Amino acid sequence: MNKRFQKLPFILELIFNGAFIFLYAFYKANRIKTPLISSEMVEVVLQSLAWSAPLFVLFSIVSFFLRSENVEEFFRKYVFSLIVFFPMMITFGDVQFTFWLAAVHLFSSVLSIYELKPENTEEGQDYVLGMLEKIRLAPAQIVILSFSAIILIGTLLLALPISAAEGKSISFIDAFFMATSATCVTGLSTVSLVDNFSFVGQSIVLVLLQIGGLGYMTLHSSMMILLGKSMAVKNQVMMQDLLDITSMSDLIAMIVDIIKYTIVIEFCGAIILTFAFSFEGYEFGQALYFGFFHAISAFCNAGFALFNDSLENFAYNPVISNTIACLILLGGLGFIVLKEVELVLRGKKKIVNLSVHSKVVFTTTFSLVLLVAVYIFFSEYLHSLKDLTFWQQLQVSFFQSVTTRTAGFNTISLSSLFPHTLYLFILVMFIGANPGSCGGGIKTTTFAILFQSVRATLKGKDRVEFFDRTLPNVLVVRAISIIVISLMICSAFILLLMRLETEHSFLSIFFEVVSAFATVGLSLGITPYLTVAGKAVIIVLMFIGRIGPLTMALAIGQKKEEAGKFKYPTGRIMIG
């Protein structure tokens, strides 16, 4: 097929469906204000573009079919376009539904144009690719660059007038802060997400936190597989390193599982929350939006809510609070653990045969949830919880125990809690979620290794054991390194923020720093009142916390392999 004809469907889709997407976004944000164009005229144009949008998708499908060698290849590579096209035809003429489907398909089309074949690259492209190959970046450095690029793009989008609510404007530093907070799935906000951002701005935040929750490379690889594209060898190697997987077949299976778990869990949570918000008195359209937004935010452990007081108004609604809590727990377990849970539920694996990693994750996670919930209940029983019924006290204690470790929602005002309860929150925030999940912190397994290491030392043992298995010494050293680096980072940033924000109390700053580092998102109310320098400090801290302190250290200190390595003799140092 002629190369120009191959590009024609994408060009037409980019022009017409792209115009429809941007026009609808501006229309929903009430940004089309001119005496020359009436709202009726805009609605007519939007309706016409909504009717034509499926035609351009169909044109792309026909083009895909003609360029495919056989029907099997067509379905394998371009099934996603069919998945988008049929709902478009079923809801033909529905402007809002067509807008979302057109946006998703255009995004997938943009991704697909980057599938360059070496034999088709031109001389100039060969030169560029050759130069890029000479820049040998480690996986840790690529992760940092990808997150930085996403934050930069998000900042520019949130700074646009279309992202701000009517009569509001978003400063660059606030857009930068919110983009970082969303991409790093933190949840801290310098401005109100409800009052200061339009529907478009809130949607950008939602996309950023979904990308940040899964990780850019995981999301990119997932899209490539979903679109039937092949992954580059370099990306395969990097994903194997990031997901700690050895074989290519296991890598593909894990990425497919990540897609499956994310879609199924978020969709089920969104449906439950939609009906729950409907029963709270919201009309169905608004309840649907609230349901999907909070389901994605909860599963990604982001903590962003479309209410200024987080979820305090729904503290005693068991459906909303328990659904959010379950989504947080599932998002914080890690995809490797979710895979083993699926195998257990299907009867393909027994609980006793779970991996050591999963056993440690479950034991540590539920022990922390139980202990913190019990502490909150008895600590605040006659204080902040005194006016609640017994079951409401249990519900609030459980929810706050789950969300404090990593998510950042709250169903009770933090300012009403005792200082010692807040200090406990700081400790559990520092521990965080589990490895390979959407949450932050030093991770539960790191804390468990430290705990077992101290226990082994007190028992006079020279090895760390879990469930009749001995851990390699390199894992123990790595865990201790993560804890020490994290403590040093938090201590340094607490000192810096105390110097910059002299009007705030030590506890508030301490709480803010650990919350930002652990990408939790809880705050004692000082975030909107930080100076520009203070906001910049928290931005850096959120970024370090999401990337991981050890990953950051490895990326900065990455060195080439030295030839002829040798080992020094053993030496002894007195300690204790």
Q: What is the pTM of this model?
A: 0.76
How many Å apart are CA 112 and CA 102, to the nearest integer? Answer: 15
Residues 6+ apart with CB under 8 A from 403: 303, 324, 325, 328, 409, 410
Residues 6+ apart with CB under 8 A from 392: 315, 316, 385
**Tens-digit pLDDT profile for residues 273-313:** 999 999 999 998 899 999 999 999 999 998 899 999 999 99
CA-to-CA separations, 458 to 367, 455, 462, in angstroms, rounded: 22, 5, 10
* 497 Ramachandran zone, left/alpha/beta (phi>0; psi -120 to 50): alpha
- Listed by start position, the domains of the chain span 1-115, 353-556
CA-to-CA separations, 525 to 115, 124, 178, 414, 507, in angstroms, rounded: 47, 53, 16, 9, 12
pLDDT above 70 (res 134): no
- Of 440, 442, 502, which Cα lies nearest the Cα of 188? 440
Q: Which of 99-108, 119-128, 223-232 has the lowest mean pLDDT?
A: 119-128
The b/e string for 127-138 (b: 16+ C-beta within 10 A; e otherwise) is: eeeeeeeeeeee
Say how many C-beta atoms besides its own lie within 10 A of residue 542's C-beta: 28
The confidence band for 56, taking pLDDT boundaries of 50, 70 and 90, is: confident
**Tens-digit pLDDT profile for residues 532-568:** 999 999 999 999 988 877 666 555 555 544 445 567 7
Q: Which of 101-110, 346-355, 444-453 has the lowest mean pLDDT?
A: 101-110
pLDDT above 50 (res 126): no
